[in-house]
Amino acid sequence: MPVTGADVVAENIKKFGGGFTRHASKVMKSATKLLYKEVTKNIGLTDHSQADLTRMGHPYARRHGPTGKGIHNPPWLIHKQSGRLMKSRYQGSNDAEVMGGKLMVSGWVGLNPDEAPHAPALIFGTWRMIPRDALRGSLADSGLQKNVRNLFTRDLRDMVINFRGAETHG
């Protein structure tokens, strides 16, 4: 059923009821969980203790250049020390809605600096330490992007295929 115009699509979604937007919200929650797992993986390295990092000459020091000594690839990985950063993780999402003819839905994962005061220093760096933005790094991971794209494509496509709307003529 060929439909042209975002306004027609938006109107059809509204007529379908909250089912489509509820389903889009559910899919976003699933995508946010995938990002949360990726962030957890990227801030939970246990291959080096603080003593090991000190013995290595502080590989994340700015004096070693913009990427430090490059002991990890990707460079945004963070070593788990006290566990406070891990405990500071949070996630959430907004309910989907149709605005201006577009379906809008969002989700996020973050680190709470009240729980882990050192989180901003890790993410943005300091005058002594290179930044290691595990949040954006996790989001940029091609494997995660593929999984999220597949999630949205598969789940929302199935929802649209099962939707039996009336053909519109302009």
170 residues of the chain, pLDDT tens digit each: 344 555 665 666 666 656 778 888 999 999 999 999 999 999 999 888 889 999 999 999 999 998 899 888 888 999 998 899 999 999 999 998 877 777 788 999 999 999 999 999 999 999 999 999 999 999 999 999 999 989 888 876 665 544 444 444 44
Beta carbons within 8 Å of 122's beta carbon, 6+ residues apart: 78, 85, 129, 131, 132, 134
Q: How far apart are CA 165 and CA 17, in angstroms?
A: 12
Tell me which residue of 26, 25, 10 sits closest to 96, measured CA to CA.
Answer: 25
- Contact between residue 33 and residue 93 where contact means Cβ atoms under 8 Å apart: no
pTM: 0.79
Tell me which residue of 165, 168, 169, 170 sits closest to 19, measured CA to CA.
Answer: 165
In this structure, is residue 169 part of a structural domain? no
In this structure, is residue 115 part of a structural domain? yes
Tell me which residue of 84, 64, 66 sits closest to 76, measured CA to CA.
Answer: 66
In this structure, is residue 167 part of a structural domain? no
In this structure, is residue 22 part of a structural domain? yes
In this structure, is residue 43 part of a structural domain? yes
Q: How far apart are CA 30 and CA 104, in angstroms?
A: 16
- The DSSP output letter for 108 is E
Work out how many domains the chain is built from and give that number: 1
- Contact between residue 134 and residue 35 where contact means Cβ atoms under 8 Å apart: no
- Provide the residue range defining the domain that includes 111: 6-162
Q: What local confidence, expressed as pLDDT, does residue 170 receive?
A: 46
How many CB atoms lie under 10 A from the CB of residue 58? 15
In this structure, is residue 98 part of a structural domain? yes
